[in-house]
C-alpha cells in the first residue's frame, strides 16, 4: 500500500485520517490499483476563500470558507454546507469523501462535496448570517450549479441559508435557478418530507437493525445525542415506533427519564427555552454520560469524533446508529466491533437527507411537486435496499457493516470511473 495514502497513525488523528483509513480498508477488499486508490483518496477540486463580513456594528470580520468536491464520476457533486468554528479544510475533505460513498451506496447520481465556513452562527444576527452566506456563495459561485455542485443544509445552516444561496446564485444568472440547492423552503421549491428525511431514514435503519438482532421496538430503549435537525425527529420517529427514548442531549446538556421521555413535550420545551436542560419531565444528566447509558440503541446525531477509544469500552448499547457524519473514530470502531456492537455506519444511517435532496433536485428541475407520502415511500425503499445490500455484502465477505457499505460504494464509483475512462 502506498504510505502517502494509507492511514498513518498520528498523534492528532482527525476525520480525514478516519475517512482515508476506511477507504484503504475498502480498497484492500476490492483489488483496486494503487493509482485508482490515489485518485479516490484525493479531492477532485478544492476552493478556499476568505469571507469578509461587515458586522452590524460597522466593523469587519473575516472568516475562512471552503468548498470541496471529492468526486464526479457518478454525477454532479452534492453535499451540505456547515457553519461551525470547527470547520477546516481537512474536515471538509473528509465530509466530502463520505458524501461520495453515501450517494453511491443509496444509488443517487451524484459525487460527493461539502462546504464550510469557520463561523459560530449563534454569535451572529440574522442580517450578518445573510451577508456571510451571500458573500460565501458569490465566492464559490464559479464551481456550483444544478449540474455541477448542489449545496444543502448541514450543521449550523438551514432552509433559510439555502434560500439566500439560491437567490444569490439566481441573481448572478439573471433568472431563478431552484435546482442549485436542496433543503430549500417548501415555498421556493423545497421537497415535502426533506426537513425530516435524515431522521426518518435514521429511525428506519435503526428499526431494521433492531429486527436483525431480535429486538422488539416495544421492549427496546434508546439514547439520542443531539436534538437538532437529525436527533430531534429521530427521537420522535423512534418513539412513534414504540421505542422508549430514555435520554437526549444537546450542546448545553442532557436529560434522562428511565421510563421514557415525552419527545414532543421536550421539543416544545426546547422551542421555548433553546435547550433540553430544565425540562420538567426528566432529570439532568452529564452530557457525555449519555453515550455510555445502559440502552439498547445509541444514536449519535451531533458531531464527528464523539465515540472514541476512551469511551467505546463503556458503550453499553448493542446497536449504534450513526445519525451524524463520522461520530465514531477508527480506534473506537475497532473496539465496538470486538465487543460485537452493531454499528450502522453514517453513510447508510444518515443517507435519508441526501436521498430526499435528490428527490428535491428532480422536482426542482422538473418544476413539479410530489406528494409527501410518495417522497417517504421512495425514501423507505432506498434505505431498505441499501440496508439489505450492506447486510448481504458483510455476510459474504465477513466484514463489518461500515466496511461493507464503503466497499459497495467504492465499487460503484470505480465502475463509473472505469466506464468513463481517464481523460485524456
Nearer residue to ligand GLU within complex by CB, 107 or 258: 107
Contact pick of 76, 80, 121, 217 for ligand GLU (by CB under 6 A): 80
Contact pick of 357, 364, 376, 400 for ligand GLU (by CB under 6 A): 357
The distance of closest approach from Cβ of residue 182 to ligand GLU in the complex, given in angstroms and rounded to an integer, is: 5
Contact pick of 18, 91, 149, 154 for ligand GLU (by CB under 6 A): 154
The distance of closest approach from Cβ of residue 352 to ligand GLU in the complex, given in angstroms and rounded to an integer, is: 9
* 93 near ligand GLU, judged by CB under 6 A: no
Cα-based distances in Å from 31 to 5, 27, 37, 69, 97? 15, 6, 10, 25, 20
C-alpha cell at 8: 498513518
Total interface residues for ligand GLU by CB under 6 A:
11
The distance of closest approach from Cβ of residue 371 to ligand GLU in the complex, given in angstroms and rounded to an integer, is: 20
C-alpha cell at 84: 461551525
The distance of closest approach from Cβ of residue 229 to ligand GLU in the complex, given in angstroms and rounded to an integer, is: 9
- Phi/psi for 114 (5° steps) reads -160, 150
* 178 near ligand GLU, judged by CB under 6 A: no
Q: Which stretch binds ligand GLU (CB under 6 A): 44-52, 73-81, 244-252, 276-284?
A: 73-81
Nearer residue to ligand GLU within complex by CB, 159 or 296: 159
Instruction: Note whether 243 and 222 are within 8 A (CB).
Output: yes
Pairwise CA distance, residues 386 & 193, whole Å? 19
| Full strand arrangement of the beta sheet holding 283-285 | 283-285, 253-256, 244-250, 221-225, 297-300, 319-321, 342-344
Cα-based distances in Å from 251 to 14, 124, 226? 21, 17, 7
Give the DSSP per-residue string, 201-230: HHHHHHHHHHHHTT--GGG-EEEEE--STT
Residue with cell 439514547: 223
Residue with cell 488523528: 13
Instruction: Note whether 40 and 410 are within 8 A (CB).
Output: yes
Nearer residue to ligand GLU within complex by CB, 199 or 257: 199
Contact pick of 37, 78, 232, 382 for ligand GLU (by CB under 6 A): 78
Nearer residue to ligand GLU within complex by CB, 79 or 228: 79
Nearer residue to ligand GLU within complex by CB, 158 or 334: 158
Q: Which of 78, 102, 114, 184 is catalytic?
A: 114
Burial class for 103, CB neighbours closer than 10 Å (0-12, 13-18, 19+) = buried
Contact pick of 22, 25, 43, 182 for ligand GLU (by CB under 6 A): 182
Burial class for 50, CB neighbours closer than 10 Å (0-12, 13-18, 19+) = exposed
Instruction: Note whether 7 and 21 are within 8 A (CB).
Output: yes
The distance of closest approach from Cβ of residue 189 to ligand GLU in the complex, given in angstroms and rounded to an integer, is: 15
Contact pick of 15, 76, 79, 231 for ligand GLU (by CB under 6 A): 79
CB atoms within 10 A of CB 52: 13
Q: Which residue is nearest to ligand GLU (CB)?
A: 80
Burial class for 236, CB neighbours closer than 10 Å (0-12, 13-18, 19+) = buried
**Residue 114 appears among annotated catalytic residues:** yes
Q: Which stretch binds ligand GLU (CB under 6 A): 75-83, 172-180, 314-322, 373-381?
A: 75-83
* 244 near ligand GLU, judged by CB under 6 A: no
Nearer residue to ligand GLU within complex by CB, 254 or 349: 349
Nearer residue to ligand GLU within complex by CB, 229 or 277: 229
Pairwise CA distance, residues 308 & 289, whole Å? 13
* 354 near ligand GLU, judged by CB under 6 A: yes
H helices of 261-371, in order, are 263-273, 330-338, 346-349, 352-366
Contact pick of 69, 325, 363, 376 for ligand GLU (by CB under 6 A): 325
Q: Which stretch binds ligand GLU (CB under 6 A): 16-24, 31-39, 216-224, 348-356?
A: 348-356
H or E stretch including 387?
helix 372-397
The distance of closest approach from Cβ of residue 2 to ligand GLU in the complex, given in angstroms and rounded to an integer, is: 28
Question: Which sequence positions are flagged as catalytic?
Answer: 114
Footprint on this chain of ligand GLU (rule: CB under 6 A): 78-80, 152, 154, 182, 325, 350, 353-354, 357
Amino acid at each position: 500500500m502506498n504510505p502517502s495514502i494509507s492511514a498513518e497513525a498520528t498523534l492528532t488523528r482527525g476525520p480525514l485520517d478516519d475517512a482515508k483509513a476506511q477507504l484503504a480498508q475498502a480498497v484492500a477488499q476490492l483489488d483496486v490499483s494503487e493509482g485508482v486508490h490515489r485518485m479516490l483518496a484525493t479531492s477532485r477540486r478544492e476552493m478556499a476563500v476568505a469571507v469578509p463580513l461587515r458586522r452590524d456594528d460597522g466593523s469587519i470580520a473575516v472568516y475562512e470558507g471552503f468548498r470541496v468536491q471529492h468526486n464526479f464520476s457518478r454525477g454532479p457533486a452534492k453535499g451540505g454546507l456547515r457553519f461551525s468554528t470547527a470547520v477546516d479544510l481537512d474536515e471538509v475533505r473528509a465530509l466530502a469523501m463520505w458524501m461520495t460513498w453515501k450517494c453511491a451506496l443509496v444509488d443517487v447520481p451524484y459525487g460527493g462535496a461539502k462546504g464550510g465556513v469557520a463561523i459560530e452562527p449563534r454569535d451572529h444576527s440574522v442580517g450578518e448570517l445573510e451577508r456571510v452566506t451571500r458573500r460565501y456563495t458569490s465566492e464559490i459561485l464559479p464551481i456550483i450549479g444544478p449540474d455541477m455542485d448542489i449545496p444543502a443544509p448541514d450543521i449550523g445552516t438551514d432552509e433559510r441559508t439555502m434560500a439566500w444561496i439560491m437567490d444569490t446564485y439566481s441573481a448572478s444568472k439573471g433568472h431563478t435557478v431552484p435546482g442549485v440547492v436542496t433543503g430549500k423552503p417548501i415555498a421556493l421549491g423545497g421537497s415535502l418530507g426533506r426537513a425530516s428525511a435524515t431522521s426518518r431514514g435514521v429511525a428506519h435503519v435503526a428499526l431494521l437493525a433492531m429486527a436483525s438482532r431480535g429486538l422488539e421496538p416495544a421492549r427496546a430503549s434508546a439514547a439520542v445525542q443531539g436534538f437538532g435537525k437529525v436527533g430531534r425527529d429521530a427521537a420522535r420517529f423512534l418513539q412513534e415506533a414504540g421505542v422508549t427514548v430514555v435520554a437526549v442531549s444537546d450542546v448545553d446538556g442532557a436529560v434522562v427519564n428511565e421510563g421514557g421521555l415525552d419527545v414532543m413535550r421536550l421539543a416544545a420545551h426546547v422551542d421555548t427555552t433553546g435547550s433540553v436542560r430544565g425540562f420538567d419531565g426528566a432529570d439532568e444528566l452529564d452530557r457525555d454520560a449519555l453515550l455510555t447509558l445502559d440502552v439498547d440503541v445509541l444514536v449519535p446525531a451531533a458531531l464527528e469524533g464523539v465515540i472514541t477509544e476512551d469511551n467505546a469500552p463503556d458503550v453499553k448499547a448493542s446497536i449504534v446508529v450513526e445519525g451524524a457524519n463520522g461520530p465514531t473514530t477508527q480506534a473506537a470502531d475497532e473496539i465496538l466491533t470486538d465487543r460485537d456492537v452493531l454499528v450502522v455506519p453514517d453513510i447508510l444511517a444518515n443517507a435519508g437527507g441526501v436521498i430526499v435532496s435528490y428527490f428535491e433536485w428532480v422536482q426542482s428541475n422538473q418544476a413539479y411537486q410530489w406528494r409527501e407520502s410518495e417522497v417517504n415511500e421512495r425514501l423507505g425503499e432506498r434505505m431498505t435496499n441499501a440496508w439489505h445490500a450492506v447486510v448481504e455484502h458483510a455476510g459474504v465477505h465477513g466484514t463489518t457493516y461500515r466496511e461493507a457499505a464503503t466497499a459497495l460504494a467504492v465499487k460503484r464509483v470505480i465502475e463509473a470511473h472505469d466506464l468513463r475512462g481517464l481523460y485524456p
